[in-house]
């Protein structure tokens, strides 16, 4: 699916001057969120980022500027959640993106009408962009899977099915919240290696996971599978996603059925959904080592091999309570790219539905922790500290093996490529409170 078109032109500029500077949100991006004015009792509604402003889609809808599919789409996006708009499909998404791009370009005849729709991003607050009915977390980074597996199974870190099946588990959507989430350190059962019985209390090995969230748009009927050739037509867009993890709870509870309380206490998404159309220039070839098993036929296609991967850069920063008190900057912990993923977005969507499982608009997939081939590209503290055996030194001299109360974790995402404008996802932030 080649979605590159006039909206990606590197030479496009906007009459919104802040969109023409170094920003995550130039006119070539135009991501969606749900917002209202900070501290107000206004209804939440859809918005689109442009520079340091947000376009209020309620104002655009009421102005009746657009026509056809674009007007139908903006009307659906003027809602407390984007589910209806997301379920409309690619034709409506593209029509609204093009209409917004044309209205926000330098010299647009709609400038006067759109100026009334702008609100500074500094003056808004976010809600979740959609109702996330179901959430499945995958395990697509072979580097993460190998590093974690090596901690527990040094001689056989990868289980036999890893290179054949896009591994995932069904998570808890009710505890997903938008950037700015605060949560209490979880309590639960743990068992020390030398203990006869488990104990109960606060988690001691709290961790983050650097992931991407993949939002489904148009769904499929129960019993129908989504073919890999059609999979990306069902994906509305992506966000940055922190799937917090209690590693000591996880180690005790995960056998035989996998993650449970170690994963369902909090997960945090960035507020802006960057559409698959905006990401089209940053797709790249997907490679499977010739010495590895090749995907079964339902997980393989020429298009997936040629342009199934997304080169999305991501990094993680930690801001301790001491840093906030002293006004020192957050400490960067690692950086990686989604292009290293062992399985693609299309393969995740296809495998998830091959048994007839039905998606609904707004359902979300987690990519799993995205770690690169080098140790410093690890997407979790479990890997960076080698299972808690090595301390990580922050830029103010503090050390960590896992997260402390008061720590804020900040994750960012962006895409860069010659010939195209850099676009970004903004950030996702979450702060740990003491256990109750």
> What is the C-alpha to C-alpha distance for residues 56 and 111, in angstroms, rounded to an integer?
14
Are the C-beta atoms of residues 7 and 1 closer than 8 Å to each other? Answer: no
- The dihedral built from the CA positions of residue 358, 361, 363 and 365, taken in this order, carries a sign that is positive
255 in a known ligand binding site: no
45 in a known ligand binding site: no
**Per-residue tokens: 186:** 């979880």
**Per-residue tokens: 45:** 């509604």
405 in a known ligand binding site: no
243 in a known ligand binding site: yes
Contacts of 325-329 with CB under 8 Å at 24 or more apart are: 326/396, 328/395, 328/396, 329/395
245 in a known ligand binding site: no
Tracing tokens 């749900």 back to the chain, one arrives at 34
Out of 110, 144, 351, 352, the active site residue is 144
211 in a known ligand binding site: yes
263 in a known ligand binding site: yes
Residues in the chain: 436
H or E element that contains 381? helix 381-384
Known catalytic membership, residue 92: no
CA 232 to the chain's CA centroid: 16
372, with CB counted inside 10 A (0-12, 13-18, 19+), is buried
- Cis peptide upstream of residue 264 (ω within 30 degrees of 0): no
Instruction: Pick out the residues of the known binding site for Mg(2+).
Output: 243, 263, 267
Instruction: Pick out the residues of the known binding site.
Output: 137, 139, 153, 209, 211, 243, 250, 254, 263, 267, 369
Instruction: Pick out the residues of the known binding site for substrate.
Output: 139, 153, 250, 254, 369
Instruction: Pick out the residues of the known binding site for Ca(2+).
Output: 137, 209, 211, 243
Instruction: Name the residues annotated as catalytic.
Output: 144
């Amino acid at each position: 699916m080649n979605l590159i078109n006039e909206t990606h032109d590197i030479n496009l500029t906007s009459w919104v001057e802040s969109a023409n500077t170094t920003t995550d949100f130039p006119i070539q991006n135009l991501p969606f969120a749900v917002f209202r004015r900070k501290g107000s009792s206004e209804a939440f509604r859809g918005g689109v980022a442009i520079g340091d402003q947000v376009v209020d889609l309620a104002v655009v809808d009421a102005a009746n500027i657009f026509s056809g599919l674009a007007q139908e789409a903006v009307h659906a996006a003027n809602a407390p959640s984007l589910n209806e708009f997301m379920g409309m499909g690619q034709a409506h998404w593209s029509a609204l993106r093009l209409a917004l791009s044309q209205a926000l370009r330098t010299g647009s005849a709609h400038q006067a009408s759109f100026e009334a729709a702008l609100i500074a991003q500094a003056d808004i607050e976010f809600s979740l962009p959609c109702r996330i009915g179901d959430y499945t977390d995958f395990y697509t980074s072979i580097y993460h899977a190998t590093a974690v597996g090596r901690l527990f199974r040094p001689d056989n870190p990868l289980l036999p099915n890893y290179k054949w099946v896009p591994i995932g588990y069904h998570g808890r959507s009710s505890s997903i919240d938008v950037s700015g989430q605060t949560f209490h350190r979880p309590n639960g059962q743990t068992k020390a290696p030398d203990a006869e019985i488990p104990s109960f209390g606060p988690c001691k090995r709290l961790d983050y996971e650097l992931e991407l969230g993949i939002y489904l748009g148009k769904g499929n009927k129960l019993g129908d599978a989504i073919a890999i050739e059609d999979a990306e037509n069902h994906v509305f867009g992506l966000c940055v996603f922190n799937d917090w993890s209690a590693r000591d709870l996880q180690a005790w509870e995960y056998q035989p059925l996998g993650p449970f309380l170690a994963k369902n206490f909090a997960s945090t998404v960035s507020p802006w959904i960057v559409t698959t159309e905006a990401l089209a220039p940053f797709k790249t070839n997907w490679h499977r080592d010739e010495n590895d098993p090749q995907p079964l036929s339902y997980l393989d296609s020429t298009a997936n091999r040629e342009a199934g991967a997304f080169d999305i850069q991501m990094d993680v920063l930690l801001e301790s309570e001491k840093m906030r008190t002293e006004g020192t900057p957050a400490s960067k912990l690692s950086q990686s790219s989604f292009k290293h993923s062992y399985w693609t977005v299309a393969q995740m969507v296809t495998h998830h539905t091959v048994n007839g499982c039905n998606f609904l608009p707004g359902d979300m997939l987690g990519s799993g922790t995205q770690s690169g081939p080098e140790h410093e590209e690890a997407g979790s503290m479990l890997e960076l500290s080698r299972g808690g055996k090595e301390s990580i030194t922050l830029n103010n001299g503090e050390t960590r093996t896992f997260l402390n109360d008061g720590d804020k974790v900040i994750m960012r995402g962006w895409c860069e490529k010659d010939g195209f404008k850099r676009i970004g996802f903004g950030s996702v932030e979450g702060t740990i409170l003491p256990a109750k």
